[in-house]
Amino acid sequence: MQILTTPPQNAAELDALYARTPVEGMFYSGAMHRERFDIADSYNEDWSCAAITWLSGGVEEYALQGARRPLKLLSAGALTLARGARYAYAALGETPFRSNMISFPHWITDGAAQNALDSDERGGPASHGRALETRLLLPGATTQALMDEIAMRTRQGAADKDWYAEKCALLYAGLLDAQDAGAAARDQISAVKPSTRTELARRCALAKETMLQRFGEAGLSLGDVARDARLSQYHLIRVFKTITGATPMQFLGMVRMDAALRLLKDTKLAVCDIAGAVGYADRSAFFRAFRKAHGCAPSAVGRAR
């Protein structure tokens, strides 16, 4: 079990971390500030692990090998990384921010890919397609609470191996269940051809990416999101609601409130600055939205010390 509160300082430390992670897993919760890691020539495919990462108060950029553009992770949602995903990393911005990452050991990812009743006599893990994908997502409340619980225990330096093992396995299972639910929802899209349903789902994923990366823009509109998804506003609303159960603008509101809660808990930013950071030009509108989403005023949230 690897518990870290400071990032690796050089390539050798990073390689040592990677080499241990498949067996032990990795739990990181600490400050990041201008760190950069390139795709290492020394990378060993056996080191690859599925992971989830999230943050408060900054920006992380992941340049995924083979992708047309980098993914930016801000103070809302999370990024899951598939086992085998290779990327360059950069912590952006002028000030330090809190970053969290959990890398899942192979015994968890292999176990999830294997049917519970498969026999070891049949040659070890038999893949049934249950594997974490690389994507930006907005975790549900239960999943986010579990992620935060693990991060808090990491910052406290607790070293209960069995506790981490159980929580990590439950988190991975929850992420897979949510992923499977999304796939099932895609099948409900009213299109005759499976290829059309797949393409519409992909474009909805682009809409999610836009909102998770541009939620801080007060002027971000339905039209902007639809253009990025290359759908008409009508088709975006219809398909997005089918897949997620929310309209695009409802989802954007949830993203903004997720970011606001994290910034309140984990930074010392003033409430008016947080309102602006999550896309609210009107402070009163921010207060109303926050109370509706979280059941309390921003001032009732415990602040970082």
Digits of tens for pLDDT over the chain (305 positions)? 899 999 988 888 888 998 999 999 999 999 999 999 998 777 788 999 999 999 999 999 999 999 989 999 999 999 999 999 999 999 999 999 999 999 999 999 999 998 766 644 445 444 456 899 999 999 999 999 999 999 999 999 988 999 999 999 999 999 999 999 999 998 889 876 999 999 999 999 999 999 999 999 999 999 999 999 999 999 999 999 999 999 999 999 999 999 999 999 999 999 999 999 999 999 999 999 999 999 999 999 987 76
What pLDDT does 227 receive? 98
Query: Phi-psi region for residue 198, left (φ > 0), alpha (ψ -120 to 50) or beta?
Result: alpha
Please tell me whether residue 106 adopts helix, strand or coil conformation.
helix
Q: What is the pTM of this model?
A: 0.93
Q: Which domains can be identified in the chain, with CATH numbers? A: 2-185 (2.60.120.10), 191-300 (1.10.10.60)
H-state helical runs in the chain: 11-24, 106-113, 141-155, 161-186, 194-214, 222-229, 233-244, 248-266, 271-277, 283-294
Question: In sequence order, what DSSP letters do the residues of 229-285 get, joined into one string?
Answer: HTS-HHHHHHHHHHHHSS-HHHHHHHHHHHHHHHHHHH----HHHHHHHTT-S-HHH
Tokens of 7: 């990032």
- CB neighbours of 27 closer than 8 A, spacing ≥ 6? 1, 2, 3, 4, 101, 102, 150, 151, 154, 164
**Residue 48 in tokens:** 């690859």
How confident is the model at residue 126, as a pLDDT?
44
Per-residue pLDDT at 125 = 45
